[in-house]
Structure 1
């Protein structure tokens, strides 16, 4: 928690940028994979049902990599710090995989089967490395910021992720071969080249400007770092003893990501097939390849609209949301209100107006899940590219909340618990702590640098003797890497479900269409829309649990 200096009015923005900019570069890589990976594999000759199985790489890597990296980095004693060795090593692996993906045909020559296998292996390896970077980056943010700054840190992380999405989908829409021919001779080659350069640059900024204090090795750590299987066993036995707030978040994530994965992996393909279906017919002189190329760009434009919407909402929404971790700061500010100048009093009035329009994080999460489910179910009535683009763009609001609110709640829980334990230990009051009632404050005020008492504990997440998983060896508190690794399990399990379900659905339609002369693009768009609707139904369940979280 002390690895970075405490933010101030002048240094806070620079610190948030340094901590989170690498997530923007990583998201650019992820947008390239999710937005164009399916179409790229289809262009190599893979069946759609087999492509959906390729995306099992994500849950397989996330199920193992993030929890394992979390607990191993919690106990890493390298001179670079706990998180940075994993970030740097995984970045090198991602860049190598991107090079292989971009130049797969050139590496294999005239061996189609070998080309497909090499691309699949590269995607699998890259997913493992991406999950390693993501786990380490999220833990670094929690490590580096005090409790009342966790909201601002995760808000800035969501903005960087939104910027990475916008850049990724914009690059996919542009004619990159004509604009940047020196980076490659195909669209995918230029994309992977840009992704590699951007990832290396942003990771270098984060690692250089976000130093960590090396962790001193203690006797208790010697067994944890040495056995990966023992580390994984510790993680999964700890799931039962998670703090209540984190358990609730995990349950919501389980259902919400059943809806998100089909959207992320098939959104571009859905719009592309709609485009071809609506532009094929009498009077059309374009070849199917030309139509699909323009359809792919139409899909990229729709996803770009979604990414731009997400970025805009990630800037606006924190102004109108409040969280418990900032309540004591507001109480202190109200206490000083009588001594403020006229300008200060005016600012207080503006803040009160802002608070009146604010809603809780849990309620905002519930609303976003409801909006997402409605958007996915509206694919029943949408049959045009313009309509599908509007639906996808509306999901930008939902994505901005999804990549911000859960991590904010988890970061607050970890930081607050550790602050409470540290405070109790310093005061010699044992291992118990007591709730502190306080008022609400909008999250965006955390970034102004005016708060005091950043480490003031507010309330506990559970009883005084509640068992908690995997405490940090040095502080005795909750370990960020371990908790975030457990949380990620509930994100990646839905991808197993959606990958298998979509593969079965696509295989069923492929078998049913074998007896037909053709499998039209409108039919293929309908197949993808069916998978999206199933995700929308699951999001309804997630919205219900988010509503319960708020109560």
Structure 2
């Protein structure tokens, strides 16, 4: 096995710093920011549908298109650059939505326009950031050989964990007081820092990482797969996933049913508990509550960074399997968060959130490591040496072939491809089924589409969670005793119920983890 230079892993995964810091700004401070603009909790739950919409539509499509792209800059970097431009524009609009609205409309209409601009900007941010993330994840797997991909995935996870520490620490600081030149508000300061971090991290990875040009076979496949058929291609890939990927996707679905309530409402939960203890009288109290939430998330990020360093070393030494750690992490998540409804102090909430850092470290590492292993397992089953691994045999997509049934090429004696790499004369390799016609062309499932499908089962739960959260907040709002109960107390209880729902889903994910296919 060749030695993997540390500097190469660092430079190739450096892009994850900018991505994770931007997610930190949105997930940690987006909800309090919208609430400060008098957006109701029911509406914020619907605003965050931007996440699943973008993940469902963008990541698989970008992964499939980039798998077969042949730009001079490479397969992934053009999408990283294009998405990055939109990320930067959306951050500016979020930070200065009030100023932009004030320049466009009258003072009377400025508040409503500010809300509209912020919501649209969050949607653009989600769509563009998902495109960048899909391309960066694929670039990382493209860059390293199969035996090094576990190390690269773990390193990328650690980069994200350390970025969380940095991001939540920055959010905990009073930026208006200590770094006033960054902006007049905390959100302006966060977005300004986010822009700098994002630009630097993308430049480092794009400049330092070398992409291998696509093979002639990939170019042939690209010609047979026009963009208009990408969606059908993705659906067929999902329908024909091997059992190993199916079970992983099932675990991801319920795991992220638990994660989304936590990611979007944990800081709001802690802030609400702070207001119960100290009251809320003006904007300074609001910022103190938000900073209390930031401190809890900082402790969670530190725990995640430590776990992200310790746990991989246990698996490398063979002390425990990835599947076991993954299952136990869901148990820790559910057991920690199930008592959220009965918590009444900021200290207790901070302890609970800190414990969840262990589970987050595994969520950012193990699914991608398992996906890499499953791709390698499939490649071995096909007796091939193809890095893309999964193979679907089918007629040319785009022809009138609605009756065709694609399938995974499990038992082929040669690599499933239009031209056998072992046939120097260019003769066609035989199909795995005895069809009298000429053998059908092949559609491959590369790294990009595999990660895109995995991400689909991460973002689909958010549709469910957003609807359930909006319903819970609406019911709580309508059932306030006498209509005069403290809104802070009511808000805390509503958020706590949503968090308890997420804990129950984590227990389901823990049970499903027992069915995961063992890795190589």
Same-fold call, TM > 0.5? yes
Cα distance change of structure 1 residues 425 and 194 upon mapping to structure 2, 3 Å threshold: closer
Distance 2:16 2:481 in 1: 44
Tell me, yes or no, if structure 1 residue 127 matches structure 2 residue 144.
Answer: no
Distance 2:179 2:332 in 1: 38
Tell me, yes or no, if structure 1 residue 96 matches structure 2 residue 57.
Answer: no
User: Structure 1, residues 11-43: CA drift from partner, whole Å, max 9, x if none?
Assistant: 521111112111121100001000000011111
Tell which deviates more after alignment, 69-78 or 271-280. 271-280
Tell which deviates more after alignment, 295-304 or 107-116. 107-116
Q: Which residue of 1 aligns with 2:286?
A: 292
User: Structure 1, residues 282-329: CA drift from partner, whole Å, max 9, x if none?
Assistant: xxxx7243332211111000001001111111111101015xxxxxxx
Q: Which residue of 2 aligns with 1:374?
A: 335
Any stretches of 5+ residues in structure 1 without a counterpart? Answer: 1-5, 281-285, 323-353, 432-460
Q: Which residue of 2 aligns with 1:502?
A: 469
Tell me, yes or no, if structure 1 residue 45 matches structure 2 residue 38.
Answer: yes
Count how many residue pairs are aligned between Structure 1 and Structure 2: 471
Tell which deviates more after alignment, 289-298 or 78-87. 289-298
Q: Which residue of 1 aligns with 2:113?
A: 114
Q: Which residue of 2 aligns with 1:341?
A: none
Q: Which residue of 2 aligns with 1:310?
A: 304
Where 1:46 maps in the other structure, the secondary structure is coil
Contact preservation (8 Å) 2:50, 2:122:
yes
Shift, 1:465, TM fit: 4.8
Cα distance change of structure 1 residues 197 and 513 upon mapping to structure 2, 3 Å threshold: same
Shift, 1:185, TM fit: 1.4
Q: Which residue of 2 aligns with 1:485?
A: 452
Distance 2:12 2:178 in 1: 32
User: Structure 1, residues 439-481: CA drift from partner, whole Å, max 9, x if none?
Assistant: xxxxxxxxxxxxxxxxxxxxxx994259x99999999864001
Q: Which residue of 2 aligns with 1:71?
A: 64
Q: Which residue of 1 aligns with 2:313?
A: 319
Distance 1:223 1:104 in 2: 44
Q: Which residue of 2 aligns with 1:60?
A: 53
Tell me, yes or no, if structure 1 residue 213 matches structure 2 residue 212.
Answer: yes
Which among 389, 407, 414 is matched to residue 375 of structure 2?
Answer: 414
Shift, 1:267, TM fit: 0.6
Cα distance change of structure 1 residues 473 and 98 upon mapping to structure 2, 3 Å threshold: farther
Which ranges of 4 or more aligned residues in structure 1 deviate by more than 3 Å?
415-426, 468-478
Distance 1:210 1:65 in 2: 23
Which among 312, 321, 329 is matched to residue 360 of structure 1?
Answer: 321
Any stretches of 5+ residues in structure 2 without a counterpart? Answer: 392-407, 422-441
Distance 1:425 1:487 in 2: 20
After TM superposition, the structure 1 = structure 2 runs for residues 113-262 of structure 1, keeping only pairs within 5 Å, are 113-215=112-214, 218-224=219-225, 226-227=226-227, 229-262=228-261
Distance 1:152 1:68 in 2: 27
Q: Which residue of 2 aligns with 1:455?
A: none
Distance 1:174 1:469 in 2: 56
Aligned CA-pair RMSD: 2.7
Shift, 1:422, TM fit: 7.2
Normalized against structure 1, the TM-score is what?
0.81
Cα distance change of structure 1 residues 239 and 278 upon mapping to structure 2, 3 Å threshold: same
